[in-house]
Chains A and B, each alone.
Chain A
Amino acid sequence: MTLMEAVADSTSAENTRQLARKLGEALRPGDVVALSGDLGAGKTQFVKGLALGAGVPDADLVTSPTFVLMNRYEGRLPVRHFDFYRVEQVDLASLGYFDLLDESATVVEWAEKAGGALGDRLEILFEATGPTLRRLTFRPLGERARDLLSRAPS
């Protein structure tokens, strides 16, 4: 059940990164952020901001994991960056999703392919409302996600 839902409008990729950075600052080990939205909606840009907020030193370190399926960055805590774009059948165990889940912050692109199997997660839906305009809808699915959203400055 959704207890609270938050909406943010972004006017640019830079704006998306700033929004994400605030959330990144609130991340704790075990948190899961699940991103859904079309190609070009700004998911990877969001992860760049999120990683900066989590203490990763350079946003250029964050690249699309479409090919390797998972990147890992070192910040104030480890950040695991999954991308299920080219995965047809998501088998989280064979992707190593549950390994180190409790020790790191996890962000997933194309999370809708895995759905509820991801567990307690902050779902963020990306919607294009113009060439550079994006509407981000934050939906905490679980106790931990609600706690994360309440810690993040809006």
Chain B
Amino acid sequence: MNILGIETSCDETAAAVVRDGREILSNAVQSQIDLHAIYGGVVPELACRAHIEAVVPVVEKALEEAGTPLSRVDGIAVTCMPGLVGALLVGVTYAKSLALATGKPLVGVDHIHGHIYAVNLAFPELEYPFISLVVSGGHTSLYHSRREVEHELLGSTTDDAAGEAFDKVAKILGIGFPGGPAVERAARGRDPARIEFARTMLGPGSLDFSFSGVKTDVLYHVRGQDGKHPRALSTGEVADICAGFQEAVVDVLVEKALRACARRGVRRLAVGGGVACNGRLREKAAARGAAAGVTTYFPPGRFCTDNAAMIAGLGYHLLRAGRADDLTLDAVPTKLHRR
């Protein structure tokens, strides 16, 4: 079964063809990061227009590279939540039009569940159940994943996402966008214990996250106790702040993920989303996981960032589970909460 996947939830326009949920026949991505970097932020109107311009050529490229004409596609999967509503609508509307024109089955995919499935794509041997941690600019969530289409939400951020904290700290320090790679680069080779920042655990039983405090901690470290007296920082100081901040975020993520493993008696941990590219997170999760008898699975970078192969792959399982959608499928900007 060949599934065409379409992803337009934020900064990337992506399309992919995946066979039987496993074999990636093509995986095309066109990023708007450069476009947004010029402005230093997102321009929503521009983001939607860029998706509109890119979606047809990106889908055509994915079909061509896969050697699969639309007539040999067996289903269409599209990200329908969460994300920028205007951006999501471009993919959803295009996918619905394709489904209507070709009569192929259509299925809407949760972007965050897609990030979990990306770990399956990278590690076909990974067996369910496992604990999954999805960390990106917009999301920080822990799940008990029982099968491809069944994920129980155990905890999520109560304020800022981890990737958002990286972006905001990079902006406070003036070291560039996107913040994750900039902070990691600056922190390389520095002693993370030289400057310590808050690790917000939210109580011994909690699997939720809070990254607003550590961001504010960095701000006051840089601007003085009243927040009004910025000091000139040397390159070395900036690097130490980055190392201390990164360590604080990584410690919380690893601690909570391993807590979830212990609580559910699960010995496998899958990590996805853009922040899963972070080298320090990979190192610490692997080391502390090994000590706790937990094997960690981090996909290569191209499967951590937004892509459509994960949407096509998960779409296959959703269609097989009878979860096809009709043409009333709509974009849902905010993820529905568990409580």
Partner-B contacts on A (CB < 8 A): 38-40, 44-45, 57-61, 63-64, 66-72, 85-89, 91, 94-96, 128-131
Asked if B10 and A67 make an inter-chain contact with CB atoms under 8 angstroms apart, the answer reads: yes
Measured between C-beta atoms, what is the minimum distance from B48 to chain A in Å?
7
| In the complex, chain A residues whose CB is within 8 Å of the CB of B158 | 59-60, 63
Contact A44–B159 (Cβ < 8 Å): yes
Contact status A39-B215, CB under 8 Å: yes
The reply to whether B226 and A95 contact each other, CB–CB distance below 8 Å, is: no
A44 to B211, CA, bound (A): 12
B84 touches A (CB below 8 Å): yes
For A88, list chain B residues within 8 Å (CB): 36, 39-43
Interface size on B, residues (CB 8 A): 45
Q: How far is the CA of A66 from the CA of B139 in the complex (A)?
A: 11
Q: Is the CB of A69 within 8 A of B84?
A: yes
The listed residue (A39, A60, A66, A87) touching B339 by CB distance below 8 A is A60
CA distance A138 to B99 in the complex (A): 51
Nearest to A59 among chain B residues (CB) is B158
Complex contact A64–B85 (CB within 8 A)? no
B45: CB under 8 A from chain A?
A: yes
Total contacts A-B at CB 8 Å: 105
B198-244 CB contacts (< 8 Å) to partner A: 208, 212, 215-216, 219-220, 225-228
B191 nearest CB across to chain A (Å) = 25
Of B158, B160, B167, B226, the most chain A CB neighbours within 10 A belong to B158
A20 to chain B minimum Cβ distance, whole angstroms, is 14
Instruction: Say whether B164 contacts A91, CB under 8 Å.
Output: no
Q: What 6 A-B pairs come out closest when comparing CB atoms? A: A67-B138, A40-B216, A128-B227, A88-B39, A88-B41, A94-B45
Q: Specify which chain B residues have a CB less than 8 angstroms from the CB of A68 in the assembled complex.
A: 82-84, 138, 333-334
Interface assignment of B168: CB less than 8 Å from any CB of chain A: yes
A60 to B138, CA, bound (A): 16
A58/B339 contact (C-beta < 8 A), A39-B219, A94-B86, A130-B226 known: yes
A28 to B245, CA, bound (A): 41
Say whether B44 faces chain A, with CB atoms less than 8 Å apart: yes
B261 to chain A, nearest CB (A): 23
Q: Within the assembled complex, what's the spacing in Å between the Cα atoms of A38 and B219?
A: 10
Cβ-based interface call for B337 (8 A): yes
In the complex, whether B266 has a CB less than 8 A from a CB of chain A is: no
